[in-house]
Structure 1
Amino acid sequence: MSPASLAAWLLRRATASSSPLSALTRRCLYSSAPVPLPRCLPGAAAAASSSHWTAARRFLASQSSASSSSSKASADENLRRVIDSEIECVVQSEESTADKHIDLPDDFPFEVIDNPGDQSVTLKREFAGETIKAAVYTNFDTEEDLNEDDESDNDEESFKPAIQMVVTVKKPEGPILEFDCNFNDDELAIENMRMLNRDNPDAENAYEGPPFSVLDESLQKALHRYLEVRGIKHSLHDWLHEYMISKDEKEYVVWLKNMKEFIGN
């Protein structure tokens, strides 16, 4: 083998023998995966800890639920006791009219329509081909002072709740005449009146007439007389006051009982 051939052969051996090392070195440098850090707790310990916290959460939740249920039951029971006490107070009061029957006055011309649960009653009658209806309300926000001459007397008996009334007069055809009235202690006052379209009584922008107070005095008196002839007059005041007070107490007791039933369910 010539010196040149020997040199070439030695060079090829050196290159071949170094290749595996170089490949291994490259794999160690570039393809090594990160080594995961050891967990703080072994698997069994971690599972036990997780179970512990789950149980703790369930315990706290059950305690909160039990506390809420206890508070609800206590509040409900307290409300029922208060309602029972209020019902007993209203029914057994010496001034109570909740169980009192209010007789109609002699020659009372109206049918009384009193629907349970309604805050008003309706007086109705037929008169000379007309249908007269009066929806009667008790306004406890406005009270009449019955002892105006004695300014020092502020006893509760010196006040009466105001009686308000909306009266409609209908004929077989044509518009409807409607009055807003208040019962003062000494008179039936007409607050307003209007003419309504029978087919569309709630029509907006319809001309209803001027305010009652600006009408000519003779016209006001004639309209008062018009209502009196149809049975709407001041003599109804005392009976309506007694009847509406009794109705309010009855409705209040029913309302309390309904509330108690709702709380108990």
Structure 2
Amino acid sequence: MAFTWCVRRSASRLASLCSTRMVRLRSISAVASRPSLAPTPSPFRPFALYSTAIDWMSSEQSLLRVIDSEINTALQIDDPDLDEETAPGSFPFKIEDNPGHQTVTLTREYKGEHIKVVVSMPSFDSDENDDEDDEDGHSNGSSIPLVVTVTKKSGLSLEFSCMAFPDEIAIDALSVCNQGSTLEDKLANEGPDFECLDENLKKTFYKYLEIRGVKASTTNFLHQYMMRKVKREYLLWLKNVKKFMEES
């Protein structure tokens, strides 16, 4: 009797426990299935993504159209390329011009000397008084920075920092350099302000450069050459930007 009573009691407790768990599971299922608690996708989200994509494509296409217009305009400018063959008959230098670089290098040999001229992009004077001369007597307009280096076989060299104006050259500084000289060494050997030198000494240095090919006819040609290089580099830059924009 006692054993039968224990079995019945255990079965009753097990049935009660199972019933309680089933009620809890039904409650959880009912709560989870309520419409108010289920995540509702926004009907505007796909439209927002589509609108953003359209704006992006429109911006890309607009930029490409402007770039194409600029490229076509640049190509319509009839500027024949210049080189040593189109230079004046007295132009003695070999031109080294690498696309994408902002400088051009001229080289030549003269009586055992190696002469190198590094020509930078022209700068433009935007002064309102274009017809007036500056304080040094140079006419306003475009100018080209030049660094002329004359090197002896021993490696010793003279370095002239110049500015080329239409029909004239102005020496700004002069330094004596050894092969492998650092910038500090060059500054230490720069010497006095060129404008403070004796007039005869200054004229002699200008004549020194002229004999080696750095003269007005050379720099006038370089003005034309560098102006064309400005356009070529701009066109190259536009094409590179377009290539980037077209890549997916």
TM-score where L is the length of structure 1: 0.70
* Partner of residue 239, structure 1: 221
Distance 2:245 2:171 in 1: 44
Q: What residue number does 2:81 align with?
A: 101
Work out the CA distance in 1 between the residues paired with 2:175 and 2:48: 62
What is the letter of the counterpart of residue 56 of structure 2? K
How far 1:45 moved relative to its partner?
4.5
- Pairing 1:262–2:244 present: yes
Q: Which structure 1 segments of 5+ residues have no match?
A: 1-40, 150-157
Tell me the distance in 1 between the aligned counterparts of 2:202 and 2:128.
25
Task: Identify the range of structure 1 (42-51 vs 220-229) with the bigger mean alpha-carbon deviation.
Answer: 42-51
Q: CA deviation at 1:242?
A: 1.4
In the alignment, residue 105 of structure 1 is paired with which amino acid?
P
Q: Secondary structure at the match of 1:117?
A: coil
CA distance in 2, matches of 1:143, 1:217: 31
| 2:39 match | 52
Alignment correspondent of 2:95: 112
Evaluate the alpha carbon distance shift between residue 141 and residue 64 of structure 1 in structure 2; reply closer, same or farther with a 3 A threshold: farther
Work out the percentage of aligned pairs sharing the same amino acid.
Answer: 39
Residues paired across the two proteins, number: 211
1:198 Cα offset (Å): 1.7
**Other-structure match for 1:197:** 178
Structure 2 gaps, min length 5 = 1-26, 133-138
Q: For 2:105 and 2:57, how far apart are their aligned partners in 1?
A: 42
Distance in 2 between residues matched to 1:125 and 1:51, nearest whole Å: 83
Q: Which residue of 1 aligns with 2:15?
A: none
- Tell me the distance in 2 between the aligned counterparts of 1:167 and 1:259: 34
Give how far 1:189 is off.
Answer: 0.8
137 and 199 in structure 1: CA distance in 2 versus 1, 3 angstrom threshold = closer
Deviations 1:60-85 (A, max 9, x none): 3x544433322221111101000111
Q: Which residue number in structure 1 is paired with residue 163 of structure 2? A: 182
Taking structure 1 as reference, are residues 203 and 227 closer, same or farther at Cα in structure 2, changes over 3 Å only? Answer: same
Match of 1:252 in 2: 234
TM-score (normalizing by structure 2) = 0.74
Pair member with larger Rg: 1
**Equivalent residue number for residue 172 of structure 1:** 153
1:86 aligns to 2:38 (yes or no)? no
Structure 1 vs Structure 2 CA RMSD: 2.9
2:58 to 51, 74, 96: 74
Distance 1:217 1:245 in 2: 33
TM-aligned CA deviation for residue 127 of structure 1: 0.8
The 1-side partners of 2:129 and 2:168 are apart by: 13
Q: Aligned to 1:200, what secondary structure does the other structure show?
A: coil
CA contact (8 A) 1:168 1:176 kept: yes
- Name the stretch that deviates more: 79-88 or 236-245: 236-245
For the residues of structure 1 that align with 2:152 and 2:140, how far apart are their CA atoms? 38
- Which range is displaced more, 62-71 or 74-83? 62-71
User: Alpha carbons of 1:64 and 1:177: their partners in 2 closer, same or farther (altered >3 Å)?
Assistant: farther
CA contact (8 A) 2:105 2:116 kept: yes
Q: Is the 8 A contact 2:105 2:118 kept in 1?
A: yes
Distance 1:75 1:259 in 2: 15
Distance 1:74 1:159, change over 3 A: farther
